[in-house]
Structure 1
Amino acid sequence: MDRSVRKLAPIALAKRKALLNPNTDAVRLIDGIGDQLPGTILEAFADHWLLSTTSDFIDPEVRQWLRDQPHSCYWKRLDQHQKESPVLLSGKPVTEPFLAKENGINYEISFQSGYSQGIFLDQRDNRAEVRRRMAPGLKLLNTFAYTGAFSVSAAMAGAETTTLDLSQPYLDWAKRNLAHNQLDPAAHHFCKGDTFHWLRRFAKQGRTFDGIVLDPPTFSRDEKGKVFRVESDFTELASLALDVLAPGGWVLCCTNFKKLSPHHFEKQLFAASSRRLRAVHSPMPDDFSGESYLKSVWLTFDGA
């Protein structure tokens, strides 16, 4: 961000004004190069801001502009290796978890929870679409679920959800997110462990789901040391998911791996089944005006 921040930042914020309303207060306010401010991301979570930069240096003009705003602002250094919690940059400290709202749904946010704050804003439109597709009597499987945001979206539509993650603290966070929306966690299912293991287990049990969310990290290692890489293992992941997909169901496949093109990602997905598949790509939300890094594909069996 350069010294033109006082001119460019208000323009960026004005473009997002329509997205901020009583039902949504979690929005990306500045999206780097898309707002002519390369290397800088500013996000609103309720009344608090999070600045993310690719540099460990913040221009003094930027610091002053943020101090002039009526918001607590935390700063996170975007680093692939040192994934640390944000630090206070300006305003009053935010020492406890708080709620942010997206399309009328409450999500718990924390600036003390590590590198990620509880919800990924680039999935807003996909969460809304999951809610639209779900209904009472339908079942959602949310894998690599993190804090269960997709599960909450589906549950708000009356669906029965199964939330799957390696981390018990994140599963507990997902339960709190349900409770924050007057939803009973006991009415839903939570599975701790490896997604590949659970998908095979569900298949043996004959369990099926009307919707399945596959949004894995680019790289991960399970409890037994097995490595997952998006560029080589997504085909197997999608194949296992399709094995437990109910007739007429869908699988949402996502990756933010920048080195994997939409074409090659789709090619991986089509290789997941001998049956003919249909793929529908979703764009990123409007407040993400920079690089379209997130690839989202709604996968169904052709004719379903």
Structure 2
Amino acid sequence: MRDLLHAALKRRAPLLTPDTDAVRLVDAEGDGFPDVYLETFADRWLVSTAHGGFPRGFERPDKAVYWKRLDQHQKEAPVHMSGPSVDEPFLIRENGAAFEISFQSGYSQGIFLDQRDNRAEVRRRMQPGLRLLNTFAYTGAFSVAAALGGAETTTLDLSQPYLDWAKRNFTHNGLDPAGHHFCKGDTFHWLKRFAKQGRQFDAIVLDPPTFSRDEKGKVFRVETDYGELASLAMACLAPGGWLLCCTNCRKLDDFGFDRQILAASPKRLKLRHSPMPADFIGDPYLKSVWVEG
């Protein structure tokens, strides 16, 4: 096991640079560790396991190591296992951008590393005068990437604490949140409202949870309802604009995902698929499709 871990760390070493200090170091079966994931956040380790206990050999007396159980029903905050404790939020760097991370915030630590390459492409595509809508935004990482590219952003999420976190991420990057928009509420509601108002965006990010239920009890499942979401988003898309459609739903294959997206518009759409980042060498669960009319 020690040799396998050493090999995994050596394989990821080129990805760790002064501009990027948060990557996945162990990706389960891809690195010979079934159901075990290891991510580093500015040299603080987070070990996640799908089954069983904390894996032997991952303790480090001189490094903060936390353990999270990937339980679908009992979502607990990471537990401190070895090294210094991390009691306050801290910053990581990703392609030169800063993002706030917390091991004390509950089940989610503030960023999803599997979207790193997509965030970089969003930043490259943006420029002053363009408008991006980031739905299901969580802590606003896509919004920060777009704003760093010069865009005016609208960040949409159900949670006010996450919107506040997103504003802090703007501030960490020298961006004034007052120059951007933050909307609290249901994405379906807001997309319908934007369309009715005639408000359009040059780019829209759609990365919803695989399952959710709105305040009226309506259920959303990616495998059956993503097309409806994409259709509402396309109604808010400016001419020449694009969507980034993502899902980590394992029940939905690439063909089924593409089919829902294509059915969402009467126009002929051009789809381009993005692979997962180089440190994610196990199950390619994340589907990322760039959509242009």
**TM-score higher than 0.5:** yes
Q: Which residue of 1 aligns with 2:60?
A: 67
Q: How far apart, CA to CA, are the structure 2 residues paired with 1:188 and 1:58?
A: 42
Do 1:166 and 1:222's aligned partners in 2 also have CA atoms closer than 8 Å? no
Q: 2:198 aligns with which of 173, 197, 206?
A: 206
SS of corresponding position for 2:59? helix
Q: Give CA deviations for 1:116-173 in whole Å, capped at 9, x if unaligned.
A: 1000000000000000111010000000000000000000011000000000000000
> How does 1:1-304 map onto structure 2 within 5 Å?
4=1, 6-59=2-55, 61-62=56-57, 65-68=58-61, 70-301=62-293
Q: Aligned AA for 1:67?
A: R
SS of corresponding position for 2:174? coil
CA RMSD of aligned residues (A): 0.9
Query: Gaps spanning 5+ residues in structure 2: where?
Result: none
Do 2:210 and 2:248's aligned partners in 1 also have CA atoms closer than 8 Å? yes
Do 2:54 and 2:67's aligned partners in 1 also have CA atoms closer than 8 Å? no
Larger mean CA deviation between 46-55 and 182-191 belongs to 46-55
Q: Aligned AA for 2:129?
A: G
Q: How far apart, CA to CA, are the structure 2 residues paired with 1:177 and 1:292?
A: 28
Q: Aligned AA for 2:278?
A: D
Do 1:44 and 1:50's aligned partners in 2 also have CA atoms closer than 8 Å? yes
Q: Aligned AA for 2:177?
A: P
Q: How far apart, CA to CA, are the structure 1 residues paired with 2:260 and 2:271?
A: 11
Q: Aligned AA for 1:87?
A: V
Q: Give CA deviations for 1:43-100 in whole Å, capped at 9, x if unaligned.
A: 00012110000123234x32xx4225x3201000011111111010111110111001
Do 1:131 and 1:154's aligned partners in 2 also have CA atoms closer than 8 Å? yes
Do 1:72 and 1:92's aligned partners in 2 also have CA atoms closer than 8 Å? yes
Q: How far apart, CA to CA, are the structure 1 residues paired with 2:175 and 2:218?
A: 35
Q: Report how many aligned residue pairs link the two structures.
A: 293
Larger mean CA deviation between 260-269 and 220-229 belongs to 220-229
Q: Aligned AA for 2:12?
A: R
Q: Aligned AA for 1:114?
A: G
SS of corresponding position for 1:66? coil
Q: How far apart, CA to CA, are the structure 2 residues paired with 1:56 and 1:169?
A: 32
SS of corresponding position for 1:128? helix
- TM-score for both structures, normalised by structure 1: 0.95
Q: How far apart, CA to CA, are the structure 2 residues paired with 1:158 and 1:224?
A: 37
- TM-score for both structures, normalised by structure 2: 0.98
Runs of 4 or more consecutive aligned structure 1 residues displaced over 4 Å after TM superposition: none
Q: How far apart, CA to CA, are the structure 1 residues paired with 2:68 and 2:113?
A: 16
Q: How far apart, CA to CA, are the structure 2 residues paired with 1:55 and 1:274?
A: 44
